[in-house]
A and B are shown apart, each in its own frame.
Chain A
Amino acid sequence: MTLHRAKPLTWVLALLFSTALHAQTETPMADAMRNNGKIYVVVAVLVIIFIGISVYLVQLDVKTAKLKRQIEEMKK
């Protein structure tokens, strides 16, 4: 049987078989975030939330420090 005479079903089977083979050969992917029941994702979410709150606190810090300096200058 030559290649150009192959029936469509054979092609479909060949395609399925090839993808199955592909999956078996451990292709490197970004799996780190999907390991251990995806707990890393939750950790990342918590870290993002906490960094966000910290950035907000830094802004509040800078703003109040500036106001304090301005009032001290006004008193002089």
Chain B
Amino acid sequence: MKKQWWKALAVILIIYSIIAGFLGDVPRRDILNETIRNLYFHVSMWFAMIAMMGASVTFSIINLSNNKLETDQRARLFAEMGLVFSILGLLTGMLWAKFTWGAFWTNDPKLNGTAITMLIYFAYFILRQSLEDTEKRARISGVYNIFAFVLMIIFIGILPRLTDSLHPGNGGNPAFSQYDLDHNMRLVFYPAVIGWILFGVWIVQIRLRVATLSNHVLP
């Protein structure tokens, strides 16, 4: 049971973010109203996604030097987990947009950048499936993964900041960093991010076990 404490920490941090996220004090803002609390849940998904993709590209780079099948599996599973987080982030964002902006989708740079990023990662999985040879697949998809990660940073980290955007935190729209109570919100938001990242790593660990098991059964 050693080295399991971080799984308990993940669960505790997320439960803390649910309780404090609903009951804690938040700034009163027009238009946002109580949806400001989405920061704890919706934005956490994106931070977790970026962490998963970061882990994925790290294992891809390691794989390019050590050529181990397990490293390549880690890269794939982290990218898959990141995609799950991004789908959850997109759906929760769309629901919020419907009730804040009046439409599920707007041609906002942040939203379109996210959609392009997801398509880039879909292409990563299609590329993997189209290559039969495991070593070739690991190397080619590893190189593509580096390219995908850089594009993700450009599309969701840089481009939305260069133009005007409706999204909170962009184009002069307020986000939590500009609020008086930002300190209180950070005390919930950062634990939530850490909790969801650890939760994602936990799921990846289990999926890696399943992947190695199926490699034994189906060589």
**Chain A: residues with CB nearer than 8 A to chain B?**
36, 39-40, 42-43, 46-47, 50-51, 54, 57-58, 60-61, 64-65, 67-68, 71
The answer to the question of B15 belonging to the interface, with a C-beta cut-off of 8 Å to chain A, is: yes
- Interchain CB contact (< 8 A) of A61 among B15, B206, B216: B206
Of all chain A residues, the one with the shortest Cβ separation from B11 is A54
Interface 1/0 per residue, B196-219 and A, CB below 8 Å: 000000110110011011001000
* Chain A residue at minimal CB-CB distance from B212: A68
Tell me what chain B mostly uses at the interface: helix, strand, loop, or mixed: helix
Return the contact of B22 from the options A39, A54, A65 (Cβ within 8 A): A39
A50 and B15 form a contact (CB under 8 A)? yes
Given A54-B11, A61-B202, A61-B206, check contact A47 B213 (CB 8 Å).
Answer: no
| A43 contacts B23, C-beta separation under 8 Å | yes
> B86 CB to closest chain A CB, in angstroms?
19
Select from chain A the residue with minimum beta-carbon distance to B22: A43
Please name 25 pairs of A and B residues whose Cβ atoms are closer than 8 Å in the assembled complex, sorted by A. A39-B23, A40-B23, A42-B22, A43-B18, A47-B15, A47-B19, A50-B18, A51-B11, A51-B15, A54-B11, A57-B202, A57-B203, A58-B7, A60-B206, A61-B7, A61-B205, A61-B206, A64-B209, A64-B213, A65-B209, A67-B213, A68-B209, A68-B212, A71-B213, A71-B216
Of the four ranges (under 10, 10 to 19, 20 to 34, 35 or more), the interface on chain B belongs to 10 to 19
How many contacting A-B pairs (Cβ < 8 A)?
A: 42
- CB of B213 within 8 A of CB of A46, answer no
Chain A nearest Cβ from B194, distance in angstroms: 16
Q: How far is the CA of A61 from the CA of B4 in the complex (A)?
A: 11
Question: A39 — nearest CB in chain B belongs to which residue?
Answer: B22
In the complex the two chains form, what is the Cα distance from A42 to B18 in whole Å?
10
**9 tightest Cβ-Cβ pairs between the two chains A and B:** A64-B209, A54-B11, A43-B22, A46-B18, A71-B216, A68-B209, A64-B206, A61-B206, A60-B206
Chain A residues with CB below 8 A from B18, complex form: 43, 46-47, 50
Q: How far is the CA of A54 from the CA of B19 in the complex (A)?
A: 16
Kindly provide the distance from the CB of A20 to the nearest chain B CB, expressed in whole angstroms.
Answer: 33
Please name 13 further chain A to chain B contacts, defined as beta carbons within 8 Å, in addition to the given A47-B19, A61-B206, A71-B213, sorted by A numbering. A39-B22, A40-B23, A43-B18, A46-B22, A47-B18, A50-B15, A50-B18, A51-B11, A58-B7, A64-B210, A65-B209, A68-B209, A68-B212
A68 CA to B211 CA, complexed, in Å = 11
Q: Quick one: given A42-B22, A43-B23, A47-B15, are A57 and B216 in contact (CB under 8 Å)?
A: no
CB of B14 within 8 A of chain A? yes
